[in-house]
Amino acid sequence: MKRDRRDPIALLVDSLRIYSPTTREGALGEFLCEEMESLGYSKVRTDGAGNAIGRIGSGKVRLLLCGHMDTVPGELKVRRTKESVSGRGASDAKSPLCALMLAGSRAMDSGVQVTFAGATEEEGAGRGVEELIRSAAKYDYAVFGEPSGAHKITIGYRGRVSVNVLVRTQGGHAGSPWAHENAFDEFCSVLSRLREYEASRTVAGDHFRSVSLSPTIVSAGSFHNVVPSRCEATLDLRVPPGTLAQDVLKDISSIATAGARVEVTPGEATEAYEAEPSSVLVRAFQRAILLAIRAKPALVRKTGTGDMNTFAQKRGVPCITYGPGDPTTSHTDHETVDVRDYLNSIEVISEAISQLGKLSEGLA
């Protein structure tokens, strides 16, 4: 590709033209490795999970900048105007990915040793971040790339666990429903009881501090005139900070299995995470937003779940999530990022790295 390899917009557009749904990130990983080498990163490589990794800068402070390369499925035409760039991943999360890599390349004299990682399978099984967790590399801080806007710092995500609910009954002829237990009806009764529990764990006006439960997949029945004898459902459970997912799972299981032929099988839990607002990392980004773009910093707590949760819990490293993009367009056919927001975020991350070095040395 013939272009200025340090042109931020061209870099983003080229990354968007490489279709990289979950488990198919290889071509984008190769592209990022080439770009890192041209930007001055050293020890550029791909690891066992396909993560694209490079290092730049030196100093006592070790910082991980991690964006994810994968997107949800569905190719979109890449469009560029003076004001915006759109395409699959423009918001979630190739604009944060490119911003982190470009800002990291400016860290040579910051007193901070930066490792950039383009991670795989964030939208899937999280294979990329798990490989980073298992690696021998040591980090003092980590920043993960997701869309929020250049003046916003995401310091919290709720926890998550997927729950499988299986209901079995005898079934029977649909012409005499009064004579047969219906597995789908039983599931609806279970869901009603779980909704009551959800309401009891809801904090009015604060979704971040509330437990939420969403049925995402429901399957029942095998023939048009047969009462279902089996209903299987997947529930997406979100848990706020201060509450362990395992405790909520115990409640869910107890409520769901009461008086019914119900099996509850939870998946692996990701606990909630909330960064300390006064931490060095948060302060570095707050200062950077004030200095680089003259905006008022905003601390954001999101109701979803991200790689930040997993890394922070398993590595015990202070983390935040940051990046440009319109999160309301994520996973839609209208993914977009404002050009000014994207460019501003690069300036903020670059300044934040500098501030992190100064704060860690007691110079600011």
pLDDT digit of tens for each residue in the chain (364 aa)?
333 356 999 999 999 999 999 999 999 999 999 999 999 999 999 999 999 999 999 989 999 999 999 999 999 999 999 999 999 999 999 999 999 999 999 988 889 999 999 999 999 989 999 999 999 999 999 999 999 999 999 999 999 999 999 999 999 999 999 999 999 999 999 999 999 999 999 999 999 999 999 999 999 999 999 999 999 999 999 999 999 999 999 999 999 998 778 999 999 899 999 999 999 999 999 999 999 999 999 999 999 998 999 999 999 999 999 999 989 999 999 999 999 999 999 999 999 999 999 998 765 5
Report pLDDT for 363: 56
The pLDDT value recorded for residue 2 is 36
Domain 159-266 carries which CATH code? 3.30.70.360
According to the model, what pLDDT value does residue 268 have? 87
Q: For the domain with range 8-157+272-360, which CATH number is right: 2.40.110.10, 3.40.50.2000, 2.30.30.100, 3.40.630.10?
A: 3.40.630.10
CB 145 within 8 A of CB 101: no
- Out of 47, 92, 121, 122, which one is annotated catalytic? 122
Question: Half-sphere exposure of 220 toward its Cβ, with a 13 Å CA cutoff?
Answer: 23
What's the pLDDT at 341?
98
* Closest alpha carbon to 157 in 278, 306, 286: 306
The residues spanned by each domain of the chain are 8-157+272-360, 159-266
Q: Strands (DSSP E) along 212-288, which ranges? A: 212-220, 226-227, 230-239, 262-266, 273-274
Residue 30: predicted pLDDT: 98
Long-range CB pairs of 205-208, under 8 A, 24+ apart, other chains included? 207/303, 208/156, 208/158, 208/240, 208/301, 208/302, 208/303
Identify the pLDDT of residue 4. 38
The answer to whether 70 is a known catalytic residue is yes
Structure tokens given for 123: 């939208």
Q: Active-site residue among 25, 35, 47, 70?
A: 70
